[in-house]
Amino acid sequence: MILFRANNMCYYHLIILWLTVLIYTANSIWVVEINKLHKSCENPSKRAPFPLDMSKVQIYLSEEDKLVLNGEVTFTQDIFPPWGISIYTHKLDHGEWTPTAYTKSAFNLCLEMHASHEIWYIITKQLNKTNCPYRKGYVEKFDMVDIGSFGFDDVLQDLVGDWRIFVDFRLGSVPHKLQISCMMYEISILEH
């Protein structure tokens, strides 16, 4: 069963979607609805294109009720360090979107992608090429990789509601030459 098929998404943006979908597998009384996939943020200073093509990535629910990653990621431009990412969330509270404490940032993902304590390690440890730079045209393949539950079992009750997940993706180190992209995902976590 295919849970969703990514379409031209940044690899690390997909991690956010996995985290939300994983909540469903942790306990069958929770349901995650992805309302808007891969929507550009309304910020004109964050309009750089994503350097990854994720159109051939799929996530499956195995017979053992585990999420499995399958497919390939193609780099559509060169990636040199530093390769930064910021993930932050807003939750709908009484009709207003308010920032939450659920955030994660890395100034240089090239250095931090293999730290075993990081949330993305379950996926980055599977990479065939383990260091930057990544050249345009490089393809990273995933063959039925078990991506687990990321330890969300203990906080499910705190996550019920409507969410916006924002992902800023940065390339470069000179402030006036930074290439910044921002994508937003809208999800709902429901108690079933």
**Model confidence at 26: pLDDT above 90:** no
Q: Taking the CA atoms of 147, 80, 164 and 35 in sequence, report the sign of the dihedral they define.
A: negative
Q: How far is CA 13 from CA 16, 30, 37, in A?
A: 5, 22, 10
Class of domain 2-191: mainly beta
Is residue 108 within 8 A of residue 81, CB to CB? The reply is: yes
Query: Which tens digits make up the pLDDT trace of 91-147?
Result: 999 999 999 998 889 999 999 998 999 888 888 899 999 899 999 999 999 998 887
Q: How far apart are CA 16 and CA 22, in angstroms?
A: 10
- Which residues share a beta bridge with 53? 74
Query: Which run of H or of E encompasses 58?
Result: strand 52-61
Residue 41 to residue 59: CA distance in whole angstroms: 25
> Domain-by-domain residue ranges, the chain?
2-191
- Considering the chain, what percentage of its residues have pLDDT values greater than 90? 20
How confident is the model over 164-169, as a mean pLDDT?
Answer: 84
CA distances from 53 to 6, 136, 140 (A): 9, 11, 11
pTM above 0.95, yes or no: no
pLDDT over threshold 80, residue 34 = no
Residue 23 and residue 20: Cα distance in Å, rounded? 6
